[in-house]
Amino acid sequence: MGLLYRHNGDTSYASWASLGPLTLLQVAVAETQSARAFYDDLTSKGENQPKSGRSDNRGIAVVILDALTRRQWVREEDLAKDLKLHTKQLRRTLRFFEEEKIITREYRRETAKGAKLFSAATAATVDVQLTGKEGEEKVKLHTHSYCCLDYAQIYDVVRYRIHRMKKLLKDELDNKNTIEEYICTKCGKRYNALDALRLVSFEDDDFHCESCNGKLEVESDKFVVQEGADGDDNARRRRHEKLKDMLQKMEIQLKPLMDQLSRVKDLPVPEFGSLLAWEARASAMGRAANGDMSGDSKISQLGYNGAPMPYSGDTKVVVDFNGTEGNRHDVKSETESTSLKVLPPWMIKSGMVLTKEQRGEVKEEIKMNGTSTSSSAQYSDDKKSTVDHDDKKNIQDEYIKAYYAALLKQQHELEASSKQELSNTLAANDPSSSAYNRQVGLKSKHEEDDDGTDWEEAPVAGTGNENYKVNDLNVQADVVPADDDEDVDWEEG
């Protein structure tokens, strides 16, 4: 499912990613399943009125929910535009979802500036095309409404509904809430439990008939005796069968949903917070991304509050240019070698590129390259299942990944050719192996330095790029060329 990758790659949710991208996926799947299961035949209420019968709304609910699983907070106009739906139609369905407690909505009177703030926020996180939109928005000054899936609530709502459905059927099956009927064995007079107070006798435990003082029996016991005598009984039995059938069918048909729910049960729920909080967070991400070209790795260090979180990073590919950039390391080694520290083992994650010194052991440096390549390869494997999802953001991310991988490979080859001499020079140049300083935990200053060199190198990599893509990341080969214009974007920001 595309969602896995999106949220994995969506670096503004670093803390989410660290909690496990599977959570989102599963909640989303559960959501989609329930949506499919229950709202497939939803026709909005207006449909029932003859005047609005012109358009067929069936299935729209599913489409909208599906789209929402791929977004966080989204302005309803934008959603309508993306889905090519009329806003009225969309709103009608959204209102229904709101009543069903599936989405949360927020309304805000805002100026163009406010809209821009949101746009900026979306730009940082969501795959919405912004160009061209901002211009239109500037003149508007009216209430905008935003909507967002409320995963926690969805989970509860779905569970509650299923529980109610089952309980209703079961209660009726068990005759749980039926009012007992009593019949007099002597005169056949009938009473029910509501008469109980009048029927109690103080002589014994039984109920006694008011008119003949005969003993009363519970009538349901008589069913066996009078079998088939009463048409009413037959109807009741048929109803009983039908209920049983229904309950069984429900169990079977809801099985996948139940499985999904139980799988999601122990996982934390994606929490987007209120619109304002989300916006503030997202725009903070956006700023961070603008300030630093390689926003990909940078943002991953930011938590919800934009505070640095050095070890929340998930699998990240960090390329080091030790082979080609020897001169740069010479310069940097003077400043950076001092900042090297041995990281405690719990801080070290598979994606981090660390020196052996940092891991607390001393080994030959070349080995580290092997580690980082393997991790990148693993990363691309992860993505294989998700490649079909062609969001713009994804493409961009994938391009970056592919680009890095290509660089890495190129560098690898270079290294292979001059392995011996390189290790010699390195050992000579920086004994503390500052070549591997570009790790997740480092501050932006270093990142920026790196970026400068990244771009210097870009044309070099560009020549061999296509080949590498095909060799290296065969799955993504079709995606990357389509995005050549992205290259420009990438460079100027």
Partner 1 sequence: MFFHIVLERNMQLHPRYFGRNLRDNLVSKLMKDVEGTCSGRHGFVVAVTGIENIGKGLIRDGTGFVTFPVKYQCVVFRPFKGEILEAVVTMVNKMGFFAEAGPVQIFVSNHLIPDDMEFQSGDMPNYTTSDGSVKIQKDSEVRLKIIGTRVDATEIFCIGTIKDDFLGVINDPATV
Residue 207 interacts with partner 1 (CB under 8 A): yes or no: yes
| Torsion, CA 55, CA 60, CA 61, CA 65, rounded to 10 | -150
Q: Long-range contacts made by residues 138-143, C-beta under 8 angstroms, separation at least 24?
A: 138/112, 139/112, 140/112, 140/115, 141/109, 141/110, 141/111, 141/112, 142/109, 143/107, 143/108, 143/109, 143/110
Longest CA pairwise span in the chain (Å): 115
Which one of 70-78, 121-129, 198-206, 375-383 is the stretch in contact with partner 1 (CB under 8 A)? 198-206
Which one of 38-46, 176-184, 337-345, 432-440 is the stretch in contact with partner 1 (CB under 8 A)? 176-184
CB nearer to partner 1: pick between 194 and 307: 194
Nearest to 375 by CA among 326, 427, 440: 440
CB nearer to partner 1: pick between 161 and 419: 161
Strand order across the 181-184 sheet: 190-192, 181-184, 216-218
Residue 162 interacts with partner 1 (CB under 8 A): yes or no: no
CB nearer to partner 1: pick between 167 and 255: 167
CB nearer to partner 1: pick between 63 and 218: 218
User: For partner 1, which residue of 49, 51, 197, 364 counts as binding (CB under 8 A)?
Assistant: 197
DSSP 270: P
Residue 168 interacts with partner 1 (CB under 8 A): yes or no: no
Residue 196 interacts with partner 1 (CB under 8 A): yes or no: yes
Q: b/e map of 347-385 (b: 16 or more CB within 10 Å)?
A: eebebbbbbebbbeeeeebeebbeebbebbbebbeebee
**Cα angle for residues 44, 50, 52 (degrees, 5° grid):** 55
Which one of 190-198, 383-391, 393-401, 449-457 is the stretch in contact with partner 1 (CB under 8 A)? 190-198
User: For partner 1, which residue of 176, 346, 367, 420 counts as binding (CB under 8 A)?
Assistant: 176
Give the interface size with partner 1 as a residue count (CB under 8 A).
Answer: 15
Pull the structure tokens for residue 147: 């909507």
CB 396 within 8 A of CB 389: no
R_g (Cα) of the chain, nearest Å: 33
User: For partner 1, which residue of 136, 156, 180, 227 counts as binding (CB under 8 A)?
Assistant: 180
Q: Cα 57 from chain centroid?
A: 26
CB 449 within 8 A of CB 332: yes
Which one of 124-132, 188-196, 363-371, 412-420 is the stretch in contact with partner 1 (CB under 8 A)? 188-196
User: For partner 1, which residue of 83, 193, 267, 280 counts as binding (CB under 8 A)?
Assistant: 193
Instruction: Report the nearest approach of partner 1 to the CB of residue 243 (Å).
Output: 18
Residue 206 interacts with partner 1 (CB under 8 A): yes or no: yes
3-state class (DSSP) for residue 211: coil
Residue 194 interacts with partner 1 (CB under 8 A): yes or no: yes
Task: Write the interaction track for partner 1 spanning residues 130-149; mark x where CB under 8 A is met and - where it is not.
Answer: --------------------
Q: Long-range contacts made by residues 170-173, C-beta under 8 angstroms, separation at least 24?
A: 170/247, 172/243, 173/240, 173/243, 173/244, 173/247
CB nearer to partner 1: pick between 201 and 339: 201
CB nearer to partner 1: pick between 219 and 487: 219
Instruction: Report the nearest approach of partner 1 to the CB of residue 216 (Å).
Output: 8
User: For partner 1, which residue of 213, 220, 234, 290 counts as binding (CB under 8 A)?
Assistant: 220
Which one of 4-12, 192-200, 334-342, 389-397 is the stretch in contact with partner 1 (CB under 8 A)? 192-200
Ranges within 301-330 binding partner 1 (CB under 8 A): none
Instruction: Report the nearest approach of partner 1 to the CB of residue 472 (Å).
Output: 58
Q: CB neighbours of 341 closer than 8 A, spacing ≥ 6?
A: 358
Nearest to 454 by CA among 297, 284, 285, 287: 297
User: For partner 1, which residue of 131, 132, 179, 420 counts as binding (CB under 8 A)?
Assistant: 179
Pull the structure tokens for residue 161: 């509904």
Please list the alpha-helical segments (H only) found in 138-183.
151-173
Pull the structure tokens for residue 385: 């299942």
| Torsion, CA 4, CA 388, CA 464, CA 326, rounded to 10 | 0
Which one of 51-59, 205-213, 344-352, 366-374 is the stretch in contact with partner 1 (CB under 8 A)? 205-213
Which one of 26-34, 79-87, 203-211, 273-281 is the stretch in contact with partner 1 (CB under 8 A)? 203-211
Instruction: Report the nearest approach of partner 1 to the CB of residue 291 (Å).
Output: 55
Instruction: Report the nearest approach of partner 1 to the CB of residue 281 (Å).
Output: 40
116 CB-contact burial (10 Å; exposed 0-12 / middle 13-18 / buried 19+)? middle
Residue 245 interacts with partner 1 (CB under 8 A): yes or no: no
Instruction: Report the nearest approach of partner 1 to the CB of residue 201 (Å).
Output: 10
Residue 492 interacts with partner 1 (CB under 8 A): yes or no: no
CB nearer to partner 1: pick between 66 and 219: 219
* Positions in the binding site for partner 1 (CB under 8 A): 175-177, 179-180, 193-194, 196-197, 200, 205-207, 218, 220
